[in-house]
Chain A
Amino acid sequence: MINMKTEKFISLLGGEFSDGKVEALLRRSRPRVDGAIQRIRRPEAAIGVVNSPLGDLLVALSERGIVLIHYLLGDDDLEGTIAKLRLTVDPVEDRSSVNEIGAEIRRYLDGNADALRRNVDLSLAASPFQKKVLYKLLEVPHGAVVSYQALGAAAGAPKGARAVGNALHNNPVPIYVPCHRVVTSSGGIGGYGGGAARKLQLLRSEGFALGKADERLPDGVVWGHKGTKIYCRTNCRTTARVDRAQVLFFADPGEAKAAGLRPCKICRPT
């Protein structure tokens, strides 16, 4: 048997199981496997690239809402972002549903404040704290901005302005979660994941009188106190003793009034 032909050997190695047997076992096993995979399944998300006045955006949309909006800044950016996204969701390309998001963003930038209607799905938020910051940020209304410090305080970390900065840097759904509405305590514009120009563009569309390269909030801004429901000029003498965590900045007195605040009786903002 030592000189048994190699082909014979191979046929012996491979033989044994008829196709019928394989098929039968396959039929029996498939439902079980499908069921098991179903239990650990990643949620499905429609993804696609949309163009907007803010440039090209990669958008991912799950059943629960928008999972991701990503400013596409370079060519290699796309692949890496999708690879990261795939760890949490199973992406399926779907232009049409993603284009609706693009349309909402376009209308929003044209000045329609209620254009952003879709829910957000913050399952890509990196940590519980970051998620909390983002949820708190959702409460900041159109026409207002908040400081990193105040947002940190609202999320339970009064000394966590830097941590808030990180959370916003990792914001999976910019525009809808308005991380452009966060500025420095001293009135500077601060940074933005998609570049400061886009932040200015967004703030302009929300009523702030900002130029193309402004680095500070304009003079017309008033600040409002969430606790007392009073709004003041930025140079009012009460600013010295106010709780910074409670402060929101508004583009102008009209916006503050619209948010349900009354003018200060000391500085009398108009």
Chain B
Amino acid sequence: MPIYGVLNCMAPPKLQLPPPFEQIMRRHAREIMRYLLRASADREDAADLFQETWLRAYRAYPRLEPNSEVRPWLYAIAVNLCRNRARDGARRTAVIVADDEANPAADRLGKAHRAHNENDGYAAVRLRELMSALPAKQREALQLRYFAGLDFAEIAAALDCSQEGARANVSQAMRKLKSMW
């Protein structure tokens, strides 16, 4: 046992505290919100899930191993909550319907839907329908890859599978979407 007071040549050990939760929230709130908006059905759902995600994250934060990646962990919570919501509400990942008539982008989307034009607006709607038909595992992997921009190692951590599994799920999902198009 070193005696710092007497020898006065060593400082007491520096504490290694994980970053405060506020910092994590500041850093990741935006991308989690973006992800939930894309992955869940609508704005209200996304706002609900957003709150639930951060509440759970706060409760579980002390149990997160120090030095482990925060980002995949947060996405894991978000993904699980999305999954629960889909199960409980028996609501499929529905088509996003714009709620703002004055919004030109929404207007375009609506028109596109009616006209069945194959422009981007329509394509996006159709794509969502197809995605909701994918198996959950593949859909989640796909969403994490392209909505959240995680790499395969992070997807593997978030979905608790191997890196190869994550890669396979994403590519399967991609293949299916293209074949159903």
- Taking beta carbons and an 8 Å cutoff, which residues of A are in contact with B? 1-2, 4, 6, 9-10, 12-18, 21-23, 25-26, 28-30, 32-33, 36-37, 40-42, 47-51, 53, 55-56, 72, 75, 78-79, 82-83, 86-87, 90-93
Interfacial chain A residues near B147, Cβ < 8 Å: 13-14
* C-alpha spacing A91/B18, complex, angstroms: 9
* B17–A93 CB distance below 8 A: yes
* A16–B174 CB distance below 8 A: no
Interfacial chain A residues near B54, Cβ < 8 Å: 33, 36-37
* A29–B146 CB distance below 8 A: no
Interfacial chain A residues near B142, Cβ < 8 Å: 13
B112 on interface, CB distance cutoff 8 Å:
no
Interfacial chain A residues near B62, Cβ < 8 Å: 42, 83, 86-87
Mark B170-181 against chain A: 1 for CB-CB distance below 8 A, else 0: 000010011101
Interfacial chain B residues near A82, Cβ < 8 Å: 15, 17
Closest A-B pairs by Cβ, 4 of them: A86-B62, A49-B12, A13-B146, A51-B4
* Contact with B174, one of A9, A23, A79 (Cβ below 8 angstroms): A9
Interfacial chain B residues near A29, Cβ < 8 Å: 33, 47, 50-51
* B13–A49 CB distance below 8 A: yes
* B1–A56 CB distance below 8 A: yes
Q: Find residues 117-145 in chain B having any chain A CB closer than 8 Å to their own CB.
A: 118, 120, 123-124, 127, 131, 142
Q: List 23 A-B contacts (CB under 8 A).
A: A1-B118, A1-B181, A9-B177, A12-B123, A13-B131, A14-B147, A15-B120, A22-B37, A25-B46, A25-B47, A25-B50, A29-B33, A33-B55, A36-B54, A40-B58, A51-B3, A51-B5, A56-B1, A86-B18, A90-B20, A91-B17, A92-B17, A92-B20
B68 on interface, CB distance cutoff 8 Å:
no
Mostly helix, strand, loop or mixed at chain B's interface?
Answer: helix
Residue of A nearest to B181 (CB): A1
B150 on interface, CB distance cutoff 8 Å:
no
* A12–B127 CB distance below 8 A: yes
* B177–A79 CB distance below 8 A: no
Interfacial chain A residues near B58, Cβ < 8 Å: 37, 40-41
Residue of A nearest to B59 (CB): A40
Q: How many residues of B contact A (CB 8 A)?
A: 47
Residue of B nearest to A56 (CB): B12
* B15–A17 CB distance below 8 A: no
Interfacial chain B residues near A42, Cβ < 8 Å: 62
Interfacial chain A residues near B127, Cβ < 8 Å: 9, 12-13
Known: A22-B30, A50-B12. A40 touches B55 (CB 8 A): yes
Interfacial chain A residues near B43, Cβ < 8 Å: 25
- Taking beta carbons and an 8 Å cutoff, which residues of B are in contact with A? 1, 3-5, 12-13, 15-18, 20-21, 29-30, 33-34, 37-38, 43, 46-47, 50-51, 54-55, 58-59, 61-63, 66, 96, 105, 118, 120, 123-124, 127, 131, 142, 146-147, 174, 177-179, 181
Given contacts A16-B38, A50-B12, A55-B1, 16 further A-B pairs with CB under 8 A are A2-B179, A4-B181, A9-B177, A22-B33, A22-B34, A25-B33, A25-B47, A36-B51, A40-B59, A51-B12, A56-B1, A56-B13, A82-B15, A83-B62, A86-B18, A91-B17
Residue of B nearest to A91 (CB): B17
Interfacial chain A residues near B178, Cβ < 8 Å: 2, 4, 9
* Contact with B38, one of A9, A17, A33 (Cβ below 8 angstroms): A17
* B17–A10 CB distance below 8 A: no
* C-alpha spacing A48/B12, complex, angstroms: 9
B49 to chain A: closest CB distance in Å?
10
B5 to chain A: closest CB distance in Å?
5
* A78–B13 CB distance below 8 A: yes
* Contact with B29, one of A10, A26, A53, A79 (Cβ below 8 angstroms): A26
Known: A37-B58, A56-B12. A83 touches B66 (CB 8 A): yes
Interfacial chain B residues near A9, Cβ < 8 Å: 127, 174, 177-178
Interfacial chain B residues near A75, Cβ < 8 Å: 13
* B146–A2 CB distance below 8 A: no
A28 to chain B: closest CB distance in Å?
7
Residue of A nearest to B31 (CB): A22
